[in-house]
Structure 1
Amino acid sequence: MSRDSLPPILASLIRQARRVAEEVNCIATVMLADVSYDFREIQQLLKQTQLIVASAVPAVVEAAKADLVAVVPLNQEPQTRQVQLSQALLEAIADNLVKTGDRVMALYSGYERDTIDTLSIINLSERLARLTARDLQRLETQVPLGTLRRVVDLAVEIGREGRESKRVGTLFVVGNHRKVLDMSHEQIHDPFKGYAKKERMISNARVRESIKELSQIDGAFVIASDGCVMAAGRILDAPAEDLTLSKGLGARHWAAAAISKATNSIAIAVSESTGTVRLFQNGTVVLRIEPMMQAMKWHDVDTEPPQE
């Protein structure tokens, strides 16, 4: 198996990481890797600090396994480094490699894609915002995991980022879409009406961006089990009977609870006031996800030449 030798700068960074990890009591070092390095050598440089390799590249995952190093496979969908790191930490927690309350070191490419150049110290907390697959697999639903995870991740992004610097609340109903449509009515002209199915799939990045933009309108998005957006701006008519919700939850959450109970669907509500995402099944909250800080993004910077 072909391996890349450690660049001198990376080797130096790892040695510094070891010193910092020892000084601040880091339990492990999580490396986001897109290249198959000699991970045994990296573990030796880190000495007593455990190395955890996280990667979306199958060859890197196999290389880490061959070197008997702990590994966390990542989704292959394009993501920011911060989102990838969040996923890596959550999966590491799910695999009992680290636990909430631990302090870990992270090594990753902050600026150049194939060059690990950034070191961060992270205190793991209960407020990580994304889900592992295991969280969703615990739900007993006919909705495929891939569809559910895409919708949940989109809801988390809306809760975290809002729209145009403003907080946004919205609602998704996933699965059993025919019954959901029967128990709802149109609030506005449906912006998805008339488009071909392939142009309404939530796996499409353009569709997800459209949903973010449309999340400011009233009403719910209705999504089929296969991930096709069936309607937007729907007002839900399910009766809110025999439901018990926490104090402080508003009409959107009551509607989510009611429709999930009446239609055996999964309803996902984003709170406008806090960005918190709640998943409802059979009328009750089954998962709650707190927003994390805004994801790292690149911005163009306007500069002016110095005055002579």
Structure 2
Amino acid sequence: MPRVDLPASLISLFKAARKVANDTECKAVILLAEAEYDFSEVKKLLRGIPLIVASHLPEVQDAVKVDEITLVPLNHEPQTRQVQLSQSLLEAIADDLVQTGDRVVAIYSGFERENLDTLSVINLSEHLARLTTRDLQRLETQVPLQTLRKVVDLAVEIGREGREAKKVGTIFVVGNHRKVMEMSHEGIHDPFRGYAKKEKMITSPRVRESIKEIAQIDGAFVISSDGCVMGSGRILDAPAEELTLSKGLGSRHWAAAAISKATNSIAIAISESTGTVRLFQDGIVVLRIEPMHQAMKWQDVEIEPPGE
């Protein structure tokens, strides 16, 4: 397909991005693209400032590769512009294209999807989470990605916010819930017991708020693969055998590691002292997510059907 010519207004925008990047000591320019521009020409306009192009469109990705420009492929999902930009930054960090603590210039379509019209200077927080969709996809698990994402986002919220100005630590065990229930016992009277399944889904804002409240009490949450809370306040009984964890990790992390190894589930432990979230699989830490003041996380876009 033919490339889209760079209009005078867009050339001016890239020149402005170059000046802003130089004046503010930015490490790179990240372009959120939905058209097949002459990316080699864009690179020339930036005069030595690294260019990173992010897009979910295959034809744009192909054009970026042809021009030998650094590419960040995005998921092809219905998302808001803010979420796409957040994902672009997270993926760029995960690929070591930029680092936490860097400053970057982002160029994207802020008002009209077809036109690049917005320039932002973004500071990548020292505590920016390095969690990306590809990280979760690398896990060899039967737990659907959508469920895992929901639970991880909730864990990050708890680690960052706590509850009523108090730090909170807890455990989520996701997948293979029948075996997990067998290898655990009730520590408190389960507040979720007796409710219908549709009233215990982790996608419900009401359920998520209840979990944040109950998380202040010792015990683990057991989540089924489809996102239903099967138990809360559970004491995990899996033996901590043949496990090796970093020094400084307490009993909560040992319990999470043990249950993940014994049941082939994903255990997510939130540190009460630091808010750090760790994902355990087969007894080892496979992902670590540091807390941050402002969350960059996945968001779902709900679209109402047109009126009749």
User: TM-score range, shorter-chain basis?
Assistant: 0.7 to 0.9
Offset at residue 43 of structure 1 (A): 3.2
In the other structure, the counterpart of 2:230 is: 230
In the other structure, the counterpart of 2:18 is: 18
TM-score normalised by length of structure 2: 0.73
In the other structure, the counterpart of 2:299 is: none
| Structure 1 unaligned blocks of 5 or more | 297-308
Aligned partner letter, 1:169: G
Offset at residue 216 of structure 1 (A): 2.0
State yes or no: 1:276 paired with 2:276. yes
In the other structure, the counterpart of 2:248 is: 248
The separation in 1 between residues aligned to 2:121 and 2:268, in whole angstroms, is 32
State yes or no: 1:216 paired with 2:223. no
In the other structure, the counterpart of 1:259 is: 259
Q: Does structure 1 conserve the Cα–Cα contact (< 8 Å) formed by 2:93 and 2:130? A: no
In the other structure, the counterpart of 1:122 is: 123
* Corresponding residue SS for 1:292: coil
In the other structure, the counterpart of 1:146 is: 146
Offset at residue 23 of structure 1 (A): 4.3
In the other structure, the counterpart of 2:74 is: 73
* Corresponding residue SS for 1:164: coil
In the other structure, the counterpart of 1:29 is: 29
The separation in 2 between residues aligned to 1:79 and 1:168, in whole angstroms, is 31
Q: Does structure 2 conserve the Cα–Cα contact (< 8 Å) formed by 1:104 and 1:121? A: yes
Offset at residue 7 of structure 1 (A): 11
Aligned partner letter, 1:224: S
State yes or no: 1:166 paired with 2:144. no
Offset at residue 76 of structure 1 (A): 4.7
In the other structure, the counterpart of 2:190 is: 190
The separation in 2 between residues aligned to 1:230 and 1:224, in whole angstroms, is 7
Could you tell which deviates more after superposition, 139-148 or 271-280? 139-148
State yes or no: 1:179 paired with 2:179. yes
Distance 1:145 1:17, change over 3 A: same
Q: Does structure 1 conserve the Cα–Cα contact (< 8 Å) formed by 2:94 and 2:130? A: no
Q: Does structure 2 conserve the Cα–Cα contact (< 8 Å) formed by 1:177 and 1:222? A: yes
Distance 1:170 1:32, change over 3 A: farther
Q: Does structure 2 conserve the Cα–Cα contact (< 8 Å) formed by 1:236 and 1:255? A: yes
Aligned partner letter, 1:277: V
Aligned partner letter, 1:198: K
Distance 1:117 1:133, change over 3 A: closer
In the other structure, the counterpart of 2:301 is: none
Offset at residue 77 of structure 1 (A): 7.4
The separation in 2 between residues aligned to 1:79 and 1:156, in whole angstroms, is 21
In the other structure, the counterpart of 1:304 is: none
Equivalent residue pairs, number:
285
Percent of aligned pairs sharing the same letter? 65
Aligned partner letter, 1:197: K
The separation in 2 between residues aligned to 1:244 and 1:119, in whole angstroms, is 44
Aligned partner letter, 2:121: S
Aligned partner letter, 1:43: V
State yes or no: 1:43 paired with 2:17. no
Distance 1:78 1:134, change over 3 A: closer
| Structure 2 unaligned blocks of 5 or more | 297-308
Distance 1:269 1:65, change over 3 A: same
In the other structure, the counterpart of 1:286 is: 286
Q: Does structure 2 conserve the Cα–Cα contact (< 8 Å) formed by 1:152 and 1:268? A: yes
Offset at residue 236 of structure 1 (A): 1.4
Q: Does structure 2 conserve the Cα–Cα contact (< 8 Å) formed by 1:72 and 1:92? A: no
